[in-house]
Structure 1
Amino acid sequence: MKSLFTLALFTLFGWMAAAQSLYRLDSVQEIRIFFAESDWDVRLDSLKKNKPDERLVASYALLNGVRFDSVGVRYKGNSSYSPTRNKNPFNIKLDHVIVGQQYGGFKTLKLSNGFMDPSFLREVLGYFICRQYLPASRANFMRVYVNDAYIGLYTNVEHPGDDFLEENYLSSSGAYFQCDRADVSVSLPPSCTPANPGSALRYTSPDSACYYNQYELESDHGWASLLNLLKSLNQSPSNIAEVLNVDRSLWMLALNNAFVNLDSYSGSGHNYLIYQMANGRYQCIPWDLNEFYGAFTNAGTGGSLNAQQMRELDPMLHLNNPDRPLISKLISQPAYQRRYLAHLQTIFDDLAASDHYDSLGASLQALIRQDVERDVNKFFSLDAFNQNLRMDFRIGGGGGKTYPGLTKFSAERLAFTTAHPRLQYVRPTIGSPAHSPDTVSATGSVAIAAEVFDATTIQLFYRYDPAEVFVALPMFDDGQHGDGAAGDQRYGTFVPMNGSSLLQYYLYAENEQLASLSPPRAEFEFHQLVSGSTKPRKGALRINEILASNVTGATDESGDREDWIELYNTTDEAIPLSGLFLSDNPSNPLKWSFPDTTLGARGFLIIWADEDGKDPGLHANFKLSKSGEQLMLYYADTTLLDELAFPELADDESFGYCASGYQLFRQSSFMQPNDCSVLTDDLTGSMLIEFYPNPCQLTGTLLVQGEGPVRWSLCDLRGRILLRGELAAGSGTRQETLYCSQLYPGIYMLKVDAPQRNAQLKIFRSAQ
């Protein structure tokens, strides 16, 4: 028997499975890398210097005890790397040689070495805080061993790759740039002026080649759209919202300023990412937060800042600096400046409410203290680690450097910024919004109103789908817009539902000086209404069958052969589908909304999964992956109504429901009951397939009775293959042991392919 396996972690909590395991905050991860070469460090240094994109192939690595053969390893980083150091940052690709190797869906590990951080907490807390206001990577801690020698404790930062983009921006095929100098420089055309335009979104030339060394292209296209962004920002900033998510950019700038994160756009003009969504707008993504909380002293104004200057960093830094157009071109516009200050105030309000994340910081230090003590390669003393959460740590005497104590510095920034003259005005106050009628109809309008004080302009921003841009509507206090009586400080407006089952919105109020939003973390957070459909009971609707590669099968109304999803009503009553959603991503449960339609009693319905979600009719805004994935049916309040995990499928091969288990079909049964006869075990010459015990905890046994070779694979509910193997041809009873102890508690699918039978069994891994 030959068995190859890659273990992916799966849990049943709120985040994606990978987020709850590899990046959960309450545990320390561990990787052990084994190189055949004893001089591995010298080889990695040589690659970093001469071939920075190439990797040294390790014999294998153990990630939390799971073995991965032939992983690719290289050093990463700029100032955090040095060939003289024993502890350098790593970039590790699990699938560098063996395609498909992954851990919880993650293929790349990015490990930071704690350079410039006595507390060991800056990067982990930095990403945690940023994620309260905009999409950002997850981060925690990882012990790193090489050839069984403990190198030290590292920060484990989520790679912002395709899965990250899909989760946060609903696609991964847009233009994508790391705004930092390229690892490998190229010769630029002599017409480029200046020779180094920097990575701060300045527009210096219409020739994209002039930017090659300062922006690292992470996608297979994008230079033309980047030039359009730069030109719009620098030359037509009043129209910048057409190509840039301004609100997201202002949140990033507010976070940089609040926490004096100067090794970023706001200081040195680099260390961030931009991604263009399908709606055409670029999104700013924070990156490289290892010097959060004032550990980097270059504000981009010449020279270094001292400790007092860091504490008193002006919230209007770079307001008139043409070399920082994301700040000067945005914040010089009064409405954007008011929104920026509202975001800054929200951050400080949250800091005060959380006691500056003191409890979280203390719990993280307690979690890692023993690993820090054992880390002989750390850059600061254990006393510095113990001290720097709440107290400043200084090295080098009078001319040395001060690392601000995290909670102390946060409190000092709050005191200074909230006393800044620009914030000494009355902020608008927004009360809790209410809507009428109580039951919203997808075919009508909804009136939304709230009490607002100390504002001259009040707007409601709305959208029907997370992929859309929020649209502004004015709100009125005239007694004509569902707002009560005229002049009662209650403002309202009517929002058309336009056939949508979902409405997401937030309120914005401003006066001449300041603004407020409801909810305060908008646009990242928002209010939500669902049209008045009744939530179906679980089991009433079933994802009955899917086909992920339609080559010769049924066609849609345009004559195209597309992936499809078949939904079945198991009840004797018609079910309205308004308020229901399909998704292939558990982190984005409301990915595609059903239009206002009804599925009849015992009826079938086809949804074409062709990414044409804006086309009229039943066309979802995503495709199915023939390599296998998970499909889910949700109600608008994110209640999971049904799910189906399907394995890798061949062309024209479908996968669907049978009473005895999910089944692979060589011939689909489009809009018809599935043909499950192949699963009848009493057929002449049939093969008996069993798995026991189920649920399993330590080990389970796959039992096969019959002739011929058997291939099996175990998948998680996203369709990722975790274990696979073969049983050679033979007769009688054969068996295979599966180590359930290697799986996290949850549900898995066991697929068995045999000459007489193909079966899919649901396997339960019980808790310890």
Structure 2
Amino acid sequence: MCKYIRLFLLLCIVQYSLNAQQVRPDDGYLFDQTIVPKIEVYLSQDSLDTMLLPTNVRSNHEYRAMCIITKGDTKDTINNIGLRLRGNTSRLADKKSFKISFNSFEPEKKFKGLEKLNLNGEHNDPSIVRAKLAWDFFADAKIPAARVNHVRLHINNEYRGLYLNIEHIDEEFIKKRFENTDGNLFKCLWPANLNYINSDPESYKFTNNGRRAYDLKTNTVEDDYSGLADFIWRLNSSVTNNFQCKIEEVLDVNSVLKAMAIDMLTSNWDGVINQNNFYLYEDLNTGKFHWLPYDTDNTFGIDWFGIDWASVDIYQYANRLGSDRPLYEQMLTLPEYRAKYTYYVDQLIQSYYNNSVLDPVLDDVNSMTTPFRIPDTYATEDYNWSITDFSNSFGDFDDAHVKYGLKSFITKRKSKALEQLDDYDIVPIMTSLKIVHTESDVQIYTDMIDDLGIESVILHYSIDAAEWNESNMALNDDGHYFATIAINAPGFLQYYIKVTDSSNQSRNFPICGNTEINTGFFPTPNLVINELMASNSVAVTDNNGEYDDWIELYNADNVDIQLSNYYLSDNSENPNKWQLPNIILSPDDYLVIWADEDGSQGDTHANFKLQKSGEQIGIYDNTDNNFALLDYIEFGAQNTDVSFGRRPNGVGEFEVLDFYSPKANNDINTEVKEVSSLNLSIYPNPTSIEIRIDEKYIGQRYNIANTHGKILTSAIYDEAINIKQLPSGLYYISIVGGGVISIDKFIIVR
């Protein structure tokens, strides 16, 4: 059944967005770009000496340590971390690279939402900024990329030098950038050339140097390579045999073409074209793969092959290190994709990759990092680079494998790329698509770009397999192309969008066939958000004894509800943010969800927290019902240890409750008229194992608190209360019922 709360959100459910991923999260605490934080690591000297032995440089053994992170006046100490060497050739360098793991000895432990930090010495780069410059370029172009900043590293009170702190690519990385976060993440290392082997997914699990070339990092129990095998088969299909239809079903083509352009402009030769150093993320909801860059230090003119990377033809870039690079070769063989690649190169040069934009950035980095590079003696040991070399490497430079300074490389690469550009006229590019469902219509929003301008956007559609219709998608006030399709009842919609540009080139989206979606909403159960606490300091503990924010769900229906069919979210644009646990909730029953971002503590721990300052929470149906809204609350600023709940219970509006009542009826708090002390008839008292109180309190909630008022236990009374877990001392027990708070005290003696 539909409920009356928050009518606008109830009737407007966003189903799908083409660019739903948040491709560049905020820098946050650990990737501050305005200062150079200090990281101190302490471990036993024996452990450090053993780690650095030449015979151990290939070891991934983690040594127990602690670290202190200092940012200005703020200092954080993190105990019980793991420290090890990281990298490939950098393990042989004098200036080592290190990995800090917060969760090595305490599973699921995080610091500021992260499990690991990669501290790279950048021994091959005199400027110690090339990798950061490349990562930032990808991120600014809306390609999911790691966050990076400079830090100064000390180990056992020895200054190890100026380092790059690079965000680790793992499930936490995916959660911050993609709406659908349960997909397959593959780390692709040499020789991951994306060439077709055969149709057997097991064939792509081959190993090299003791690890898989396509190494699945998530969903390892399922170990499913079928999607990867299918993607590689499609990628290697003949470009004359329906290639675009095949590849666009499983690959974010426009993002890949843009990333290829950045790869070329930064001369990132140690990635896809070297069959090495990239990730693939398979979104299991959309079925599409996304290419993620990785390990971008061999860029901006670093060369080991005698190749002038600033002059390489932009269309022959992938062939400089060998043939059989299907991702590049197939993309650039197709005229439409080659034109888009050319367009991206041109646009990136005009908007970002030029000296007027990047020279001031490089000057700021040079100025900020020089004080910490001067005492960095480890930076001089591998190639004898001095502080003068460091400074010159930002401008003009030529030494050993570093053939250019950064500014001079950018100047030449930009100039040569512009000389090599084809003339182009791209077909329209769709950059976003959003579907909004209501009970009476379907609203479709899209964004398009074209080098010469868009002439028309036409929606072709059929409702419930009836005749096909057309609707002109006009620009709305927000600058999106928009159309509305009226519906009378739940059903299905088939559609495609035809876009024509000013040179009369047309493109259908999808390129082949059409898209089919469900429409309207089927009835939903009466599952409600009944109570919440957005700032829990000493009120209620979870199953781990922690004071987490919490949300109480209540089955106000007359039938059982299978909760795993539904989702809980604090973002209406991402309704399937957290799937409810596999629990059947009976009528008139309650479930408390702990909003602590820590699923390792149990199935009732959500992947988001509540904001004390106020936010939104919604319960949503699954994709089969277009994520129909079951219940929704938008709340303002909350007080600590005060709950916000419905009165009357399960059906009323939200209000501040006099007493919190998780897993209980909110109405018991409505009319507390007096406080009655010392009348619960506790026995035995003193006690050591259990206490009992008057049987009239059976079925009512009790709270046990210590002498400081901290609630230690909260449950429903049922004949006896087990207190074996509490130490000796004086305690208070309280019960709210019949408009009266009853309080008494008891003593535990052992």
Residues 1:633 and 2:616 aligned together: yes
2:307 matched to which residue of 1? 305
1:532 matched to which residue of 2? none
Equivalent of residue 677 in structure 2, options 671, 675, 684 = 684
Equivalent of residue 76 in structure 2, options 66, 74, 78 = 66
Aligned equivalents of 1:425, 1:674: Cα separation in 2: 69
Aligned equivalents of 2:497, 2:387: Cα separation in 1: 46
Aligned equivalents of 1:76, 1:125: Cα separation in 2: 21
Aligned to 1:359, what secondary structure does the other structure show? helix
Aligned to 2:83, what secondary structure does the other structure show? strand
Q: Deviations over 1:276-297 (max 9, x none)?
A: 1122111111111122322245
Q: CA 1:125 to 1:492, structure 2 compared with 1: closer, same or farther past 3 Å?
A: closer
2:318 matched to which residue of 1? 318
Aligned to 1:72, what secondary structure does the other structure show? strand
Residue identity over aligned pairs, in percent, reads 17
2:472 matched to which residue of 1? 481
Residues 1:243 and 2:250 aligned together: yes
Aligned equivalents of 1:129, 1:304: Cα separation in 2: 25
Residue type of the partner of 1:273? Y
Gaps of 5+ in 1: 1-13, 182-197, 298-302, 464-473, 485-490, 517-540, 566-581, 595-606, 613-621, 648-653, 687-703, 713-725, 734-753, 757-768
Residues 1:409 and 2:413 aligned together: no
Alpha-carbon shift at residue 674 of structure 1 (Å): 6.5
Aligned equivalents of 2:265, 2:148: Cα separation in 1: 20
Residue type of the partner of 2:409? F
Aligned to 1:169, what secondary structure does the other structure show? coil
Q: CA 1:210 to 1:315, structure 2 compared with 1: closer, same or farther past 3 Å?
A: same
TM-score, normalization: structure 1? 0.60
Aligned to 2:112, what secondary structure does the other structure show? coil
Aligned equivalents of 2:294, 2:673: Cα separation in 1: 55
Equivalent of residue 656 in structure 2, options 650, 656, 659 = 659
Q: CA 1:96 to 1:169, structure 2 compared with 1: closer, same or farther past 3 Å?
A: same
Q: Deviations over 1:699-739 (max 9, x none)?
A: xxxxx972787669xxxxxxxxxxxxx99765599xxxxxx
Aligned to 1:153, what secondary structure does the other structure show? strand
Aligned to 1:20, what secondary structure does the other structure show? coil
Alpha-carbon shift at residue 681 of structure 1 (Å): 10
Equivalent of residue 392 in structure 1, options 390, 396, 400 = 396
Residues 1:217 and 2:213 aligned together: no
Gaps of 5+ in 2: 1-21, 462-467, 508-527, 534-548, 584-596, 619-632, 642-648, 680-704, 714-724, 733-742, 746-750
Aligned equivalents of 1:110, 1:356: Cα separation in 2: 28
Aligned to 1:252, what secondary structure does the other structure show? helix
Aligned equivalents of 1:137, 1:110: Cα separation in 2: 11
Q: CA 1:370 to 1:420, structure 2 compared with 1: closer, same or farther past 3 Å?
A: same
Residue type of the partner of 1:201? L
Residue type of the partner of 1:659? V
Note if contact 1:293-1:410 (Cα within 8 Å) is conserved in structure 2.
yes
1:534 matched to which residue of 2? none
Equivalent of residue 386 in structure 2, options 375, 381, 393 = 381
Residue type of the partner of 2:247? I
1:643-722 to 2 correspondences below 5 Å:
659=656, 663=660, 665=662, 667-669=663-665, 673=666, 676=669, 684=677, 706=707
1:265 matched to which residue of 2? 272
Q: CA 1:94 to 1:462, structure 2 compared with 1: closer, same or farther past 3 Å?
A: farther
2:183 matched to which residue of 1? 174
Alpha-carbon shift at residue 72 of structure 1 (Å): 1.0
1:122-271 to 2 correspondences below 5 Å:
122-132=130-140, 133-181=142-190, 198-205=191-198, 206=200, 207-208=202-203, 211-213=206-208, 214-219=213-218, 220=220, 221-235=223-237, 237-238=243-244, 239-266=246-273, 268-271=274-277
Alpha-carbon shift at residue 224 of structure 1 (Å): 2.5
Note if contact 1:460-1:475 (Cα within 8 Å) is conserved in structure 2.
no
2:18 matched to which residue of 1? none
Note if contact 1:140-1:157 (Cα within 8 Å) is conserved in structure 2.
yes
TM-score, normalization: structure 2? 0.61
Note if contact 1:141-1:153 (Cα within 8 Å) is conserved in structure 2.
yes
Aligned equivalents of 1:412, 1:421: Cα separation in 2: 14
Q: CA 1:42 to 1:316, structure 2 compared with 1: closer, same or farther past 3 Å?
A: same
Tell which deviates more after alignment, 358-367 or 73-82.
Answer: 358-367
Note if contact 1:428-1:454 (Cα within 8 Å) is conserved in structure 2.
no
1:580-599 to 2 correspondences below 5 Å:
583-584=569-570, 590-592=573-575
Q: Deviations over 1:97-127 (max 9, x none)?
A: 1234322111211111122211121122221
Note if contact 1:658-1:674 (Cα within 8 Å) is conserved in structure 2.
no
Residue type of the partner of 1:156? N
Note if contact 2:311-2:413 (Cα within 8 Å) is conserved in structure 1.
yes
Note if contact 1:294-1:403 (Cα within 8 Å) is conserved in structure 2.
yes
Q: CA 1:117 to 1:589, structure 2 compared with 1: closer, same or farther past 3 Å?
A: farther
Alpha-carbon shift at residue 563 of structure 1 (Å): 8.9
Aligned equivalents of 2:708, 2:481: Cα separation in 1: 72
Q: Deviations over 1:118-146 (max 9, x none)?
A: 11211222211111221111110121111
Aligned equivalents of 2:460, 2:254: Cα separation in 1: 14
Aligned to 2:106, what secondary structure does the other structure show? coil
Aligned equivalents of 2:744, 2:35: Cα separation in 1: 45
Aligned to 2:310, what secondary structure does the other structure show? helix
2:19 matched to which residue of 1? none
Aligned equivalents of 2:426, 2:440: Cα separation in 1: 35
Q: Deviations over 1:6-50 (max 9, x none)?
A: xxxxxxxx9999832101211222221111233514335578556
Note if contact 1:427-1:515 (Cα within 8 Å) is conserved in structure 2.
no
Aligned to 1:254, what secondary structure does the other structure show? helix
2:10 matched to which residue of 1? none
Residue type of the partner of 2:266? F
Aligned to 2:254, what secondary structure does the other structure show? helix
1:569 matched to which residue of 2? none
Q: Deviations over 1:485-509 (max 9, x none)?
A: xxxxxx9884648899xxxx99977
Aligned equivalents of 1:431, 1:707: Cα separation in 2: 61
Residue type of the partner of 1:310? A
* Count of aligned positions: 558
1:20 matched to which residue of 2? 28
Aligned to 2:413, what secondary structure does the other structure show? helix
Alpha-carbon shift at residue 351 of structure 1 (Å): 2.1
Note if contact 2:343-2:424 (Cα within 8 Å) is conserved in structure 1.
no
Note if contact 2:563-2:581 (Cα within 8 Å) is conserved in structure 1.
no
Q: CA 1:117 to 1:45, structure 2 compared with 1: closer, same or farther past 3 Å?
A: same
Q: CA 1:429 to 1:131, structure 2 compared with 1: closer, same or farther past 3 Å?
A: same
Alpha-carbon shift at residue 67 of structure 1 (Å): 2.0
1:342 matched to which residue of 2? 343
Q: CA 1:326 to 1:660, structure 2 compared with 1: closer, same or farther past 3 Å?
A: same
Aligned to 2:338, what secondary structure does the other structure show? helix
Aligned equivalents of 1:137, 1:755: Cα separation in 2: 57
Equivalent of residue 286 in structure 1, options 293, 296, 304 = 293
Q: Deviations over 1:241-272 (max 9, x none)?
A: 22222222222211101111111113x12111
Note if contact 2:428-2:499 (Cα within 8 Å) is conserved in structure 1.
no
Alpha-carbon shift at residue 427 of structure 1 (Å): 6.7
Q: Deviations over 1:543-579 (max 9, x none)?
A: 84499899997789784134978xxxxxxxxxxxxxx
Alpha-carbon shift at residue 152 of structure 1 (Å): 1.0
Alpha-carbon shift at residue 419 of structure 1 (Å): 2.1
Residue type of the partner of 2:265? A
1:443 matched to which residue of 2? 441
1:721-760 to 2 correspondences below 5 Å:
730=729
Aligned equivalents of 2:558, 2:413: Cα separation in 1: 59
Residue type of the partner of 1:290? D
Note if contact 2:138-2:145 (Cα within 8 Å) is conserved in structure 1.
yes
Aligned equivalents of 1:645, 1:199: Cα separation in 2: 54
1:114-129 to 2 correspondences below 5 Å:
114-129=122-137
Aligned equivalents of 2:744, 2:294: Cα separation in 1: 51
Aligned to 1:377, what secondary structure does the other structure show? helix
Alpha-carbon shift at residue 153 of structure 1 (Å): 1.3
Note if contact 1:234-1:329 (Cα within 8 Å) is conserved in structure 2.
yes
Aligned to 1:385, what secondary structure does the other structure show? helix
